[in-house]
Amino acid sequence: MAAENTSDSAKAEDDAGKRAAFTVEVKGPDKVREYLAQNLEIQRYSRIPDLGTTELSRLMVAAEANARELLATLGYFTPTLTLELNETPTSDKAPRAVVVTVEPGATTQVTSAQILFNGPIESDPGAAAQREAIRKGWSLPPGQPFTQQGWDNAKTAGLRNLTAKRYATASVVTSRADVDADRHEAQLGITYQSGPAYRFGPLKISESKRYNPDAMRRVARVPTGEDYDQQKLLDAQQRMASSGYFDSVFLTLDTAADDPQTAPVLAQVREAPLQKVVAGVGFTTDSGARLSLDHTHNQVPLLGWRAVSKLSIDNDTRSLGTELNSIPDDNGWRWVNSALVKRENAGTYDVDSGRLRSGRSKSEDHIDRSYYLQYDYAKNRGTDAPQSAAAVSGNWAWTARYFDNNATPSRGYGIALELGAGYTLIGERLPFTRTFVRGLGFIPLGDVTSSDGSQARNSRIQLRGDLGAVVAKDAAQIPSTLMFLTGGDTTVRGYGYQKIGSELTDGSIVAGRYLGVLSAEWQRPFVWKGKLTEWESAVFVDAGAVGNTPSELKTKVGVGVGARWRSPFGPVQADIAYGEATRKFRLHLRLGFTF
């Protein structure tokens, strides 16, 4: 018993030692209460032991001045403050409480904002639009509440807009905010010094030992001779980074150059390994678990081209392919040659296929183009399906992406078009044409905001559609890999991957010559406890049909609900869909966004 009493006594003393010397409570409107509660300096002293009343009274005097400074940053220059010290001997938290009562008063409003420019930008007629854009884009115009954060942000944004084009070394010469506390007015003024106007000069690459500098110039495509534009510099940096030749790339404009009109672009790079092998595992609800092995050779002997080969195995597909890419020419076009062999489950049949392709492609900021010759071979393993087919064709492809974010889009649109014409090579040699169109677009429905209005993200309707047609005589034996199947995570949910096709008399599913898919999805950001989260809800309806003639198209519909998570690794999509034709529910999971 004596031991227990000793233990209880020690515990009581320990608990008493954990009590704060005082607590701080702020009373007032929500917009200032939380801000003061988080930033008042007096709270740093609450854990000091043996803090006497005299010391605490001195801290409270300093706390009033501190509170007025904090409120001034929010635009409240004439607040009414009351500080009280209350004894709370029965409280578990602290024996005393400092209570700060705030009446912030009227908000100070911006009454004028004068934005001036010094330097070459003053007399340059070509800079008039840039000056006007900075003035129109000023984020703290007359009529807006004045806050220190808003003032700092406005100055920074104006300077950022100035240095983004032509004037890379611009700076702030003077800035002032004259506040009349009695009248609750603020007059703002700022002067920017532009510095010289710059133009892009030659690209200079450091630490690159393997690649020809002229070849890397064609990869980067820096617009030499044009006015400096920060976005164009970032685009060139992205082209080099995504080329696969480098592990890291950083481009800067050499503003210390003698002639600003030919300022070199300096590239700091770290070359990627000459060869690289990457093993991967994955999972999709379409095809189950997946194993992959990728091999990259960045400079194939003799050719000097880049080769990427991939082996992939999942429940439905086994494929082995390689693609060789040349360095682009001065116009951005590159040669592309590829080969692929595959065995996959398509419809209710297994298909062995092969493909050879040779052509040229070009990728720009928003548009990708390619044209190529292609040989296709496919053999269906099934008694009622055509056993084998082969074809040669000429093709043209064009894709445009105008999304606000290519990884997690919420606005914009994308369009893809493929056109091809060729001849079949097995059986009677007959001509055919192939057309495929894909589209995706977002219609904003208004912003969803957090309860305090500090965050907002738009809800939207996502519209998606696919149309395809292979036109040829009925006798033409066209490889099934050139025809169409649909169904799965990215097409018609509620159905298995490629399980919607042309139905034979025995109920079997094969690829068809005509395709139509339409989808509408309502996406809405999710708010939890007043805070906007990285989650979104979705409600959708998908419809698709495949047939060998337009009259054979029988629409299959899927409806469902889902969740979207804007994860650090990319968008994660989870859907539960009901297939109207199968009368079954199906789970669909997907990571990432591609178009």
CATH code for position 210: 3.10.20.310
Q: Which of 234, 256, 271 is the last residue of a domain?
A: 271
Mean pLDDT, the chain, rounded, equals: 90
pLDDT given at position 384: 59
Residue 301 lies in a domain: no
Q: Is 93 in contact with 23 (CB distance < 8 Å)?
A: yes
Which helix (H) or strand (E) covers residue 241, if one does? helix 230-242
Closest residue by Cα to residue 579 from 587, 569, 570, 568:
587
Residues 332 and 473 in one domain: yes
CA 384-389-391 angle, 5° bins: 155
With respect to residue 57, please indicate whether it lies within any of the assigned structural domains: yes
User: Would you say residue 208 lies in a domain?
Assistant: yes
Domain enclosing residue 219, as ranges: 200-271
Among 103, 122, 151, the domain-final residue is 103
Residues 188 and 211 in one domain: no
Which pLDDT value is given to residue 181? 86
Beta bridge partners of 585: 578
pLDDT for 467 beyond 50? yes
What letter represents residue 217's amino acid?
R
Please choose, from the candidates 421, 414, 323, the residue with its C-alpha nearest in 3D space to the C-alpha of residue 371.
421
Residue 450, phi then psi, degrees to nearest 5: -70, 165
Q: Is the per-residue pLDDT at 270 higher than 90?
A: yes
Question: What is the rounded average pLDDT of the residues 229-247?
Answer: 93
pLDDT range class, residue 348, cuts 50, 70, 90: confident
Q: Are residues 116 and 65 in the same domain?
A: no
The amino acid at 287: S
The 10s digit of each residue's pLDDT in 23-61 is: 899 998 887 888 888 889 998 888 887 788 788 888 888
pLDDT band at 386 (very low <50, low <70, confident <90, very high): low
Is residue 567 domain-resident?
Answer: yes
Same domain, 339 and 467: yes
Instruction: Report the C-alpha gap between 229 and 251 in whole angstroms.
Output: 12
| DSSP classification of residue 407 | S
**Choice among 192-196, 211-215, 305-309 with the minimum mean pLDDT:** 211-215
Contacts of 344 (CB under 8 A, 6+ apart): 316, 317, 318, 319, 350, 351, 353
What pLDDT does residue 1 have?
39
Residue-wise pLDDT for 468-493, tens only, equals 999 999 999 999 999 999 999 999 99
Q: Are 389 and 522 in the same domain?
A: yes
Question: Can you tell me the mean pLDDT for 150-158?
Answer: 93
**Phi-psi map region of 168: left, alpha, beta (phi>0 left; psi -120 to 50 alpha):** alpha
- Measure the CA–CA gap between 423 and 30, rounded to whole angstroms: 73
Mean pLDDT calculated for residue range 397-415: 94
User: Which tokens is 499 given?
Assistant: 């399980």
Question: What confidence tens digit (pLDDT) does each residue in 165-188 have?
Answer: 999 999 999 999 999 988 889 999
Average pLDDT on 419-433 reads 96
Distance in angstroms (rounded) separating the CA atoms of residues 408 and 441: 13
Structure tokens at 394: 């000429």
Residues 486 and 367 in one domain: yes
List CB contacts of 330: < 8 A, sequence separation 6 or more.
Answer: 218
In a domain? residue 7: no
Q: Is the pLDDT of residue 453 over 80?
A: no
Compute the distance between CA of residue 524 and CA of residue 444 in angstroms, rounded to an integer: 10
Whole-angstrom Cα distance, residue 261 to residue 365? 25
Phi-psi region of 225 (alpha: psi -120 to 50; beta: other; left: phi over 0): left
Q: Rounded to an integer, what distance in angstroms lies between the CA atom of residue 294 and that of residue 119?
A: 54
Claim to verify: residue 71 and residue 99 sit in the same structural domain: yes
8 A C-beta contact, residue 520 and residue 540: yes
In this structure, are 551 and 451 located in the same domain?
A: yes
Q: How far is CA 524 from CA 407, 457, 465, 519, in A?
A: 18, 9, 21, 16
Give burial (CB, 10 Å; 0-12/13-18/19+) of 151: buried
Based on the fold, state whether residues 223 and 360 are members of the same structural domain: no
Give residue 168's pLDDT.
Answer: 95
Residues 165, 166, 167, CA angle at the centre, nearest 5°? 100
3-state class (DSSP) for residue 459: strand
| pLDDT tens digit sequence for 537-547 | 999 999 999 99
Same domain, 156 and 209: no
Last residue of a domain, one of 271, 287, 307: 271
| CA separation for the pair 491, 502 (Å, rounded) | 16
Q: Note the residue count of the chain.
A: 595
pLDDT at 209: 82
Q: Which of 29, 60, 64 is nearest to 46 (CA)?
A: 60
| DSSP sequence for 180-213 | ETTTTEEEEEEEEE-----BEEEEEEES--SS-H
Confirm whether 496 is domain-assigned.
yes
pLDDT: is 374 or 53 the higher one? 374
Query: Same structural domain for residues 562 and 580?
Result: yes
Please tell me whether residue 397 adopts helix, strand or coil conformation: strand
Considering the domain boundaries, does residue 313 fall inside one? no
In sequence order, what are the beta bridge partners of 250?
268
Q: Do 512 and 450 reside in the same domain of the chain?
A: yes
Four-residue CA torsion sign, 285, 291, 297, 301: negative
Tokens of 380: 């269906």
d(CA 209, CA 274): 11
The number of distinct structural domains making up the chain is 4
Q: How many Å apart are CA 374 and CA 393, to the nearest integer?
A: 5
> What Cα–Cα distance (Å) separates residue 295 from each residue in 143, 245, 338?
60, 14, 14
Task: Please indicate, yes or no, if residue 290 is contained in any of the structural domains.
Answer: no
> Token pair for residue 383?
């008694």
State the Cα–Cα distance between residues 587 and 595, nearest whole angstrom.
22
